[in-house]
Structure 1
Amino acid sequence: MGWEIELRDGRLHASYGGISALEGLEVSGEDLKFSLEPYGRPYSVPSPEGEQVVHILRLVPEGPGPEDVLLEAFCGPRRLALRLYPRKPFKFELSGTVRWGREPYLCRTEPGRFGDVVQAALGPADSLLCDSIFDKWDDRLLKLSSWGKASLKALPDGRSFLVEVVLSTRFGTTPDLLAAEVAEHFISEGMSMPHYRPYDRTHHPLPPSGWCSWYCYGREITEEDMVANADWLAENLKPFGLEYVQLDDGYQGETWLDWNDRFPKGGKWLAGYIKGKGLKPGIWLLPQVVGKKDTKLLEEKPGWFLKRPDGSVFRAFGNYPYLDPTDPEVKREWFERTFATMVEWGIDYFKIDGEGEMHQWYALCRENLSDPSVTPDEAYRSWLEIIRREIGPERVLLICATQWRAMGYGDACRTGTDVGVDEEQFENALRATFSGYWMHTIAWYCDPDVLIVRPELPLERARAWASLLGLSGQVLMASDRMPELPEERVELLRRVFPAQDIRPMDLWPRRPERPYPRIWDLKVATSWGRWDVVGLFRWFEEDEPEVEITREKLGLPAGRYMLYDFWGKEFLGELGEGRKFSLEPGSCLVLCVRPFEGLPLLLGTSRHITQYPDLLDLRWDPGRGVLSGESFLVGRDPYEVRVLVEWNGEGYQPLGATADGADVEIQGEGPVLVLRLESDASRKVRWEVRLKPKSSDGTARR
C-alpha cells in the first residue's frame, strides 16, 4: 500500500495501493498554466509510519511567468502532500479528478464548521462543507485538505469528483497546495465495529416502505384488522409507493408457525391475501425465543433452552424462554423450519426483534451452551446466517434493535427504541435518527421506527415527523389505523412515500440528546438540475423560535438562490445574505432552494417532499418560448408544477399549455405560474407550457 505519483503531459497522477486516485492534476494561476517536470531524481526518507518517497518537481510556465517555483510531492504510506516553494506572492490554482472506490460517498467525518446542519444527498450531489470521500466496499476514507481553499464537486457519473484548490502564497512559507490522507478500516477499526460489512443494495435499491400493525393494534390485532388495512393500503397508498404490510406480534400460538384463534385462516392464507392486493406481506417474530411464556416445549424439549449459570431457563424480552442457538436440533427444527415455512407461505419481509443484547445473554450463559466453544458473537451470528440462507437475498431482513454484530446479514436495522404519540416517545425517533444515520445505506438501511400521523398527534408535529423521514430516506413504515385516518393526515403520507435513495454526507454519530440539529439539508442532483430541500425544525418549546439559513451554512457556492415552501405551496423570495424563519414549537418549514440563473425558474412540484421521483425531465427552449417536461403522475392525484415567471421587472406571460394523457390547466399566483395536471391512471406525462416575454407595461410582447 502507499502513495505513488507519475507525470504525464505535464500533469500529476497519483495512485494509492496501485489504484488510480488523483488524475490529471494541473497547476495554474493568474491566467497562466504550468506543466510539471522532474527536478532531479526522487529519493526515500524513513519515517515512523514507513518510508516516504520525495519527488521534487519544477513548475514550468506555459508563457511569461515565474520560473523558479518548485513543488515537492511527499508519497507516504497513508499521506500524499504536494508542497509549494514559492519565491514571490502568487495565486496558484490546482484542479483534477478524484476517484475513490466503486460506490464513493462524498462526506465530512467531524462536525467542524456548521456541524449542527445535517447533510444528505440524493443523486451525485455535493457540498462545500465536505472534504472527504468514503469507499464503503474497502472501508477506506480519503480526506483532502489545503492551506488554501479546496472544494470537491461531484461529477455526473456519481463515481468521480472534481477537486479545485485556490492558494495565495508568498516567499518564506512552504504551504501544502493539496494533501490527501487515507484512513484504512474507517468503520471496522475507527468505529470499533469489527463485523462491519458493506451493504449490497442490488436486491433492494430503495429502503422498505410500508405499514406496521404494532403501534395501532398491539397484541390485540386480528385477521379482520389486517384485511381491512391491506384493502385500504392497496387502494390509497400503494399507488404512492407503499409495498409492505407487516403483522407485528399478537398472532403466535405455541410456536411462530401455529397461530392463535384471532387468525383462524393462518399465516399462509394472510400472506396470500396481501399478495393478492399487489402488496408484500411482512411478519414480526422473536426467533431466539418461544413466543409463549408457559410453552409445553419446556417439558418436551428441555435441552433446547438457554440456561443461566444457576441452571434455570434464561428469560428476558417479554419473559419468554430463550433457545440455545448452538444446539443442532434447535438450528434444524426451530430456526431452519420456521423461516423455510414462512418463505413457503410467501412472507417477503422479516422483522426480528430483541436483538440488541443477544451477545450479552450468550456471554452470560456461555458455559451452559450446547457448544460452549463458540464466542457470544459467533453464537448470535450463527442463527442470523441460517435465517439469511433460508429467506435468500430477495427478501428483507430487519434487525431490531441496534446491533452492529448483525452487519452483513440485515438489510435494515432499527437504530432506537419504540416511538409513540407523546413527546418523550416521539423524541426516540430523533435519538435514533441523529445518532445512527451515518450508517444508512452503508451498513444497512436505518430504521428509526415507524411514522405516526394520527390525530392524537398535533398536526404540526405529525408534519415535522413525516418531513424528517421523507428528507432522510430511512425505512418508512406507517403505523396508524389506516381506514380511520382523516384526509389531512393521509395527505402527509402521500407526500413522503416511498422512501428515496438518500445517503448520509455526515459520517459520524451525533449525540442522542437535546438540543437536536434543526436544519436538515438534502442535496439533490439529477441530469437536468440541482437543488436543496432544507427542513427547518423547532422540535420542542425549549428550542429558539428562529432558525437562520445562509448560503455558507448550506455549503452552496456563490450565487443567487430562490426559496419555495413545499408544504405551504408558497414562493418566499430570495435567500440573499441569509434568511431567518420563526417556528412554533413542534413545527417545521420545508424549503426548496433553487439556484437562480434566470427566468423561467422551476420552484417546486407537489408529488414528493424531495421534488425528485416525479419530474423526470425539464427543458427550456428560449427560441421557441417553450418550457417542457416529463412527469410521472399518480392516478387521480392532482399534480402541480410551480414556476417563477416574473422577477425584478422582467418576466413571461403564459400563452397556453398541453399535456399528453392528462387534463391540464394553468393559473397565475402573482409571479408564479401553476401548471396543474391530473390523470385517471398512473403514467408518465409529457407537457409543455408556451411563454412569451412581457413588455415593460406588463403586456406580452409580439
Structure 2
Amino acid sequence: MNFFSVLIRILTIAIAFCILAGFVNSTERQARELNSGTIFTSEGWTIETQSGPGRLTIKHEGLGTILCDVQLNLEADGVLQELKQWNVEISGPRTITSSSRSGETGGPDRLLVRTIQPSSTWIFEPTRDCLRISSTAPGAVLTGQAPVSSARGLARLLDSDGAPVTWQGTGECAGTYGGAYTRIPSFLPRENPECMYFTLGQAGGSVFHSMFDRETNTAIRFTPQTRFSERAVGGEQLEFTMPLPGPGLVRLVPDYYTKVLGVPRYAPLDLSIFDRAPTVWCSWTSYFPDVTEDDIVKNTDWLAKHLAPYGFQYIQIDDGYDRIPGQFGPEGHHWIDHWNKNKFPQGPEWIAGYIKSKGLRPGLWLVPNGYAGAVEDHPDWYLSDKEGGYIRVYNTPALDASHPEVLGFLQELFGTLGGWGFEYYKFDGEFAVPAYAPRVDLTRRHDPTADPLETYQRRLAVIRKAVGPHTFVEGCPSGTPLNGIGHFNSYFNGQDVYNNWQGMFALFSSINANTFLNRMLVFVMPGEGVELGRLMSVEEAARKRSPRVIDNAREREDPMIGIGVTPAQARTLVSVVSLTGVSYPLAGVMPELPPERLQLLQRTMPTMPIAPMDLFSRGTEADWARFRHVRADDLIHHFPEIFDLKVAAKSGTYDVVALPNWRSDPVTKTVSLSRQLGLDAGEKYVAFDFWNQTLLGVVSDRMFVEVEGHDTRVVLVHRLLNRPQLIGTSRHITGAYSIQDLSWDAASITLQGLSEIVPGEDYTLFIHLPPGAPATSTPMASTGGNPIPVRKERKGDLLSVSFKSPESPVTWQVKF
C-alpha cells in the first residue's frame, strides 16, 4: 500500500467520523429540542410535552384544552409512582413543530413518550375525533386536570346499549291537525338507570366519564375507567385519573344534541339576561277561561306578600281574557282587539300595571299563529285548505307567515302588548303550521315557494325583535319538533296537568323526558302548575272550584279521586321541581293554601342555576288514554328513584339527594354512596335530613332511608370533616342559596360566614359537631355592624344557630 492510498484511507475515515459525529450531534440536538418542549399536531389534535417536569397538555381545535398537567404514572399495590424522566419520539408522515423549530414539517402520526426508570413506552395516536392512548407497562395511569367552565362540564351521555325508551311530543298535532306524532328513540343507561344527576357549580364524581361543551355542541367521551374528583380545583379544573388496562380512547362526538339526540336545532341558551329558570303562576288549571280581573288581583296580592320576598316573579294570565261568550261566533281569538271588559273591566294596561305595582311581572297567554280580527279586511293573510276553508289553531284562523303584512301585524301586536307592560308570554299552538298540518294547501300561501321551516324561523325572529331580549317567551309546540330553539326562553313540551296527585304525573313525565334540554338549549316548563292545595273530595271541590276544574279531571281519570294533594305528595312536588332546576310553575288558588304548604314553597324558592348532567331523555310517560283506568300506584314508569344534585358553591361541595317514593306503601331505600352517588369509597360522610331538619348520622358506604308513601326525603350528604362544619340551612333546599361566604379559622376555632336572609323571617344554620368537638360554642350575628339576637340549640352532634333580622345580609360566626 503506497503513501497516497494510506492518506486517502485516513482522510476517508476522518470524513466519515466527522459526518457521523455531526449526525450524532444533530440527532442529540434535535432530541433535546423535542424533549425541551414538543408541540405535536395531527388530525386537529395537539399534544404539548414538557419532559423536564414530566407533563402533557392535550388540546383539540375548536375545543381548546381538554386535559392539562397530565402526568404518567405506574400503579402498584394501590400506590401511584410518577414517571418524570422522558424521551419524546415522533413517527409518521404528518406535521410537527417544537419550541425551537416552529413551522417545520415532516413529522408525526404518533407521539411516543419513553420513560427510563422504570422503562415504559406511552403511545398517543390521533385520528379524526379520536385519540388512542396506550402503554407497554402494566398499571399505567394518567392523572392530571380537566378544565371546566359554565360552557363545559361533566355529563352522562346517551347509552345506546341501554334500555330503549321513546321521547315524544303530545298528540295535539296528530289529533287536532292530522299531523304525525314526534317520536325519537332514546335509552336509559346501563349503569345507574335509577339515578338522575344534576349539578350546581362544577362538581364531579366517579360515575361520570364524559364531558359536554355547550359552545360547540360536542361531547367528549373518556375511557370508562376515567374518574373525576368531587370538587373543582380553583373552580375551573377537575382532577382526573385515567387507568389504562389496555388501549384507551378519548372520543369526540360532534353535533351531539342534533345528530345523537335528535333535537332539530342547536343553539346554546343565552344566560346573560335570564340566568335561571323563572317562577310563574298561571291562571289556567284553577280557573280555565272563567278567570277574572278579581281572581288575578287576589292571587297577585297573596303571591306578592308571601312569595315575592323568596324570589317569586311572574303572574301569567291564561286563556279567557279576550273572549265574550256568543259575541264573536266561530271566528275565535282577537287578542288585543276585544279584551273582555266584563271580566277585566279596567283593561289590560291596568292589570299589567297592578301586577307591577306589587313587585311582580305580568305575563299573558296567546296563540300568535292565529288571529280572527283580519278575516274581512285581509283575507289573504290566512292559511287555507284545498277547498279554500280556513286552517284553524285554537278555533282561530291561522295566519300565513309568508305574507310580509302578517309579520308587520305581529310586530304591531307585540309592540302594543309590550306598551301595556307585559313581560312574559306563553305561546300556545306554537309550531310551523304549514310544515306539520297536512290539510294546509301550500300553493295557496302568499309565497307558495317558501320553505315552511325557514318561514317559521323568520317569523320567530320578527317576534323576538319586537318583544326584545328582556321579555321571557315560553313556547308550547303542540307535539311537533322543537324548531323554536334559539328563539324561546323556555318550552312546555308535555301534557296538561290537572289538580290532583295523578294529574301531576304529566309534570313528572315532562321532567323525566325533557330535562336534558334545561339550561342547555331552553329552560323546561314542566306543566301549567303544581297543585299544592289540601286534598278535597269531589263534592267539596265541586262547591269551591270552577266546573271546568272538575270536568277536566273527570276526563282524565275514572273514577275521579278528588282535588288536591296530601302533605307527602306536596313535598315530593316541590322537591322534584326545585332540585331539577326547571321552571317553577304554580297554578292553585293561592289564598287558600295552608301555612305548612306555603312553607314548602318558601323553602324551595327561588330557582337555582341547576344544570342537567344526564344529557339524554329518559322517555315520555304521560299518556292519558293509558292513565284513565290505571291508578298512579300501578303505572310502570321510568321516573328516577334517586335525584342527585351535586353542589360546588360557597356553601361547600356536597350532594343533595332526593329519594321519592312513587307508590303509596312505605319503603326503605338503600343508597350506595360510591356506586350511585360517585363519592369516594371508604370515606365517611354526614347525612342531614332537610325536611325534618334532623341529623341522620355519619355514613360510609351505604345509607338507609325510610320513605312514606308518595313522600320524598331530601338528604344533604357532606364529606365528614374533623371540625365543626355547616351541613344545611333552613332557607333553601339546596343549602346553597343564602350562603354568600363561608370559612373556617383553625387558629381561633371559629366557623364564620355571610348569609342572605328574608328580613323578618327566622333563619337557622345547621352545624355538625364531630367527636371531640368543644362542648361549648358562642354564636354571634350582626347586620350593618349592629349585633342581633342569636339562639342556639344542641341535639347530639347537631348544633342549630338561629336568628332573625330586619335587614340582609347577616354576618355570623360560631366560636368553639
1:354 match: 429
Conserved in 1, the CA contact under 8 Å of 2:203 and 2:231? yes
- Shifted more, 277-286 versus 52-61: the winner is 52-61
Which of 295, 300, 309 does residue 225 from structure 1 map onto? Answer: 295
2:466 match: 390
Looking at structure 2, the residues matched to 236 and 101 of structure 1 have their Cα atoms a distance apart, in angstroms, of 36
Q: CA deviation at 1:554?
A: 0.6
Conserved in 2, the CA contact under 8 Å of 1:199 and 1:408? yes
Q: CA deviation at 1:60?
A: 2.2
Matches within 5 A, 1:237-256: 237-253=307-323, 255-256=334-335
2:698 match: 574
Conserved in 2, the CA contact under 8 Å of 1:445 and 1:474? yes
| Secondary structure at 1:568 match in 2 | coil
1:97 match: 145
Whether 1:536 aligns to 2:659 is yes
Amino acid at match of 1:673: L
Looking at structure 2, the residues matched to 71 and 627 of structure 1 have their Cα atoms a distance apart, in angstroms, of 47
Whether 1:451 aligns to 2:526 is no
Looking at structure 2, the residues matched to 42 and 101 of structure 1 have their Cα atoms a distance apart, in angstroms, of 35
Q: CA deviation at 1:361?
A: 4.1
The CA deviation string for residues 419-443 of structure 1, in whole angstroms up to 9 with x for no partner, is 1223442110111001110111111
Looking at structure 2, the residues matched to 207 and 550 of structure 1 have their Cα atoms a distance apart, in angstroms, of 31
Looking at structure 1, the residues matched to 199 and 112 of structure 2 have their Cα atoms a distance apart, in angstroms, of 38
2:360 match: 279
Amino acid at match of 2:523: Y
Instruction: Give the structure with higher Rg (CA).
Output: 2
Conserved in 2, the CA contact under 8 Å of 1:533 and 1:592? yes
Conserved in 2, the CA contact under 8 Å of 1:5 and 1:75? no
Conserved in 2, the CA contact under 8 Å of 1:102 and 1:135? no
| Secondary structure at 1:264 match in 2 | coil
Which of 31, 34, 38 does residue 81 from structure 2 map onto? Answer: 31
Whether 1:151 aligns to 2:228 is yes
The TM-score with structure 2 as length reference comes to 0.77
For residues 404 and 375 of structure 1, do their structure 2 counterparts lie closer, same or farther at Cα, with a shift above 3 Å needed?
same
The CA deviation string for residues 276-335 of structure 1, in whole angstroms up to 9 with x for no partner, is 112111111111113xxxx56433432222212222111243x232222222222212x1
Matches within 5 A, 1:416-495: 416-449=494-527, 450-455=529-534, 456-495=564-603
| Secondary structure at 1:633 match in 2 | coil
Q: CA deviation at 1:375?
A: 2.2
Whether 1:128 aligns to 2:196 is no
1:139 match: 217
- Shifted more, 543-552 versus 250-259: the winner is 543-552
Which of 320, 326, 341 does residue 402 from structure 2 map onto? Answer: 326
Looking at structure 2, the residues matched to 338 and 507 of structure 1 have their Cα atoms a distance apart, in angstroms, of 37
Which of 739, 745, 748 does residue 624 from structure 1 map onto? Answer: 748
Looking at structure 2, the residues matched to 512 and 423 of structure 1 have their Cα atoms a distance apart, in angstroms, of 18
Whether 1:645 aligns to 2:695 is no
| Secondary structure at 1:324 match in 2 | coil
For residues 268 and 462 of structure 1, do their structure 2 counterparts lie closer, same or farther at Cα, with a shift above 3 Å needed?
same
| Secondary structure at 1:379 match in 2 | helix
Aligned residue pairs, count:
660
- Shifted more, 406-415 versus 108-117: the winner is 108-117
| Secondary structure at 2:754 match in 1 | strand
| Secondary structure at 1:433 match in 2 | helix
Q: CA deviation at 1:159?
A: 4.6
For residues 297 and 579 of structure 1, do their structure 2 counterparts lie closer, same or farther at Cα, with a shift above 3 Å needed?
same
For residues 364 and 24 of structure 1, do their structure 2 counterparts lie closer, same or farther at Cα, with a shift above 3 Å needed?
farther
Structure 1 residue runs of 5 or longer lacking an equivalent are: 46-51, 170-174, 692-702
Amino acid at match of 1:354: G
Conserved in 1, the CA contact under 8 Å of 2:790 and 2:801? yes
2:448 match: 372
- Shifted more, 582-591 versus 470-479: the winner is 582-591
Conserved in 2, the CA contact under 8 Å of 1:27 and 1:35? no
| Secondary structure at 1:523 match in 2 | strand
Conserved in 2, the CA contact under 8 Å of 1:646 and 1:672? no
The CA deviation string for residues 520-577 of structure 1, in whole angstroms up to 9 with x for no partner, is 0001002452011100011234x88232211121111231111111111111112332
Amino acid at match of 1:93: V
Looking at structure 1, the residues matched to 109 and 508 of structure 2 have their Cα atoms a distance apart, in angstroms, of 49
Looking at structure 2, the residues matched to 226 and 32 of structure 1 have their Cα atoms a distance apart, in angstroms, of 67
Which of 45, 48, 52 does residue 6 from structure 1 map onto? Answer: 48
| Secondary structure at 1:463 match in 2 | helix
| Secondary structure at 1:404 match in 2 | coil
Q: CA deviation at 1:372?
A: 1.8
Looking at structure 2, the residues matched to 179 and 627 of structure 1 have their Cα atoms a distance apart, in angstroms, of 45
Which of 326, 339, 347 does residue 259 from structure 1 map onto? Answer: 339
The CA deviation string for residues 79-113 of structure 1, in whole angstroms up to 9 with x for no partner, is 00111112xxx433322233478710310103232
2:800 match: 674
Which of 270, 273, 279 does residue 351 from structure 2 map onto? Answer: 270
Amino acid at match of 1:444: V
Higher helix share: 2
| Secondary structure at 1:145 match in 2 | coil
- Shifted more, 496-505 versus 667-676: the winner is 667-676
Looking at structure 2, the residues matched to 373 and 99 of structure 1 have their Cα atoms a distance apart, in angstroms, of 48
1:563 match: 687
| Secondary structure at 1:367 match in 2 | helix
Q: CA deviation at 1:127?
A: 1.9
Whether 1:686 aligns to 2:765 is no
1:172 match: none
Conserved in 2, the CA contact under 8 Å of 1:156 and 1:527? no
Matches within 5 A, 1:336-351: 336-351=411-426
Q: CA deviation at 1:214?
A: 1.4
Q: CA deviation at 1:76?
A: 0.7
For residues 599 and 108 of structure 1, do their structure 2 counterparts lie closer, same or farther at Cα, with a shift above 3 Å needed?
same
1:601 match: 725
Looking at structure 1, the residues matched to 804 and 500 of structure 2 have their Cα atoms a distance apart, in angstroms, of 38
Looking at structure 2, the residues matched to 31 and 195 of structure 1 have their Cα atoms a distance apart, in angstroms, of 47
Matches within 5 A, 1:296-315: 297-315=374-392
Conserved in 1, the CA contact under 8 Å of 2:277 and 2:584? yes
| Secondary structure at 2:392 match in 1 | coil
Amino acid at match of 2:411: E
Q: CA deviation at 1:352?
A: 0.6
The CA deviation string for residues 603-658 of structure 1, in whole angstroms up to 9 with x for no partner, is 211101111111222222233232212111102221111112254xx332234221
Conserved in 2, the CA contact under 8 Å of 1:363 and 1:376? no
Amino acid at match of 2:239: L
Q: CA deviation at 1:674?
A: 0.8
1:547 match: 669
- After superposition, the CA RMSD in angstroms is 2.3
Conserved in 2, the CA contact under 8 Å of 1:637 and 1:678? yes
Q: CA deviation at 1:349?
A: 0.8
| Secondary structure at 1:189 match in 2 | helix
| Secondary structure at 1:239 match in 2 | helix
Which of 44, 55, 60 does residue 110 from structure 2 map onto? Answer: 55
Q: CA deviation at 1:228?
A: 1.7
The CA deviation string for residues 45-79 of structure 1, in whole angstroms up to 9 with x for no partner, is 9xxxxxx9532423324xxx322x11111111110
Looking at structure 2, the residues matched to 13 and 296 of structure 1 have their Cα atoms a distance apart, in angstroms, of 64
Conserved in 2, the CA contact under 8 Å of 1:104 and 1:133? yes
| Secondary structure at 1:83 match in 2 | strand
Which of 691, 702, 708 does residue 584 from structure 1 map onto? Answer: 708
Looking at structure 2, the residues matched to 351 and 270 of structure 1 have their Cα atoms a distance apart, in angstroms, of 17
Conserved in 1, the CA contact under 8 Å of 2:200 and 2:610? yes
Conserved in 2, the CA contact under 8 Å of 1:518 and 1:538? yes
Whether 1:78 aligns to 2:134 is no
2:780 match: 658
Structure 2 residue runs of 5 or longer lacking an equivalent are: 1-42, 75-79, 96-106, 160-188, 324-332, 535-563, 622-636
Amino acid at match of 2:775: Q
